[in-house]
Amino acid sequence: MTPLFRKLLGMNWFVVAVTATLLAFGVYSINAATSYLTGENITSKWYDQILWIVIGTTIYFSTSLIDYRWIKWAALPAYIAALILLLSTNTILSGAKSWITVAGFTFQPSQLAIVSGILLLAVIFGELPKRFPLLKHSLLKILIAAPTVGLPCFIILNETDFGSAMAWSVVFITSLVIGKVLLRYVIVIIELGLIIVPIFYYFGLKDYQK
């Protein structure tokens, strides 16, 4: 039995079956909800959902069958690619220029950026301290992780997508906790966030962005 086939058999097929059922129900619900409406953009939503399912399923099985030790080498290239995509947005939806449309296919690169950011933070907190013991210090971890999160977050805020930018704050705090940064530093960062975010929300955003 080949290692690839062994990995395939070792997957949690119960979770796969449950997920497939939910996805099928989602497509059915979208089709049922839009079948009485007019307009090609509305009636084709179920087709868009199937397309995303195919893409997601391909990524799921690809990443499940790849040795995770190889994935860490893709963290930095994926992060750089995500930044390029964030700078390439060309479509405005709900007042935010945070979408890319290619050949009629629209997607939001900020979600891909979050995934690549999580991978890079995992390398920063998990691998770098092994190679450079000095990086085990909490302050140095924060100094490296902050710009890693801050750069895409700044780009997203510049696109006036406040919701996606806030998702990065959750990623940042969670990574600090998992990365074993001293709790007192995490608490200080959270307190600063609780002060800065409301000010930015009420005075830095326009009404349609809230």
Q: 49 and 132: one domain?
A: no
Query: For position 206, what pLDDT does the model report?
Result: 65
Q: What is the residue range of 195's domain?
A: 72-210
d(CA 174, CA 186): 9
d(CA 104, CA 5): 37
Q: 94 and 161: one domain?
A: yes
What's the number of domains the chain is made of? 2
Q: 50 and 100: one domain?
A: no
Q: 61 and 2: one domain?
A: yes
pLDDT band for 81, please (50, 70, 90 cuts).
very high
Taking residues 166-183, report their average pLDDT: 89
Q: 97 and 137: one domain?
A: yes
Last residue of a domain, one of 66, 82, 113: 66
- The owner of tokens 């999160």 is 149
pLDDT at 79 over 90: yes
Q: 97 and 41: one domain?
A: no
Q: 62 and 110: one domain?
A: no
Rg of the chain over Cα atoms, rounded to whole angstroms, equals 20
pTM strictly above 0.85: no
pLDDT band for 146, please (50, 70, 90 cuts).
very high
Q: 121 and 208: one domain?
A: yes
pLDDT band for 2, please (50, 70, 90 cuts).
low
Q: What is the pLDDT of residues 86-131, one digit of tens each?
A: 888 877 776 677 778 877 677 788 888 998 999 999 888 888 888 8
Estimate the crossing angle of helix 138-158 against helix 162-178, to 10 degrees.
170
With contact defined as beta carbons under 8 Å apart, do 171 and 121 qualify?
yes
d(CA 79, CA 114): 9
Last residue of a domain, one of 15, 35, 66: 66
pLDDT band for 149, please (50, 70, 90 cuts).
very high
Q: 104 and 206: one domain?
A: yes
Q: 147 and 187: one domain?
A: yes
Last residue of a domain, one of 66, 85, 105: 66
Q: 58 and 79: one domain?
A: no
Q: Which helix (H) or strand (E) element contains residue 98? A: strand 96-102
Taking residues 184-198, report their average pLDDT: 89
pLDDT band for 62, please (50, 70, 90 cuts).
confident
Sequence-separated (6 or more) residues with CB below 8 Å from residue 37: 43
Taking residues 34-55, report their average pLDDT: 74
147: left (phi over 0), alpha (psi -120 to 50) or beta: alpha
Q: 79 and 179: one domain?
A: yes
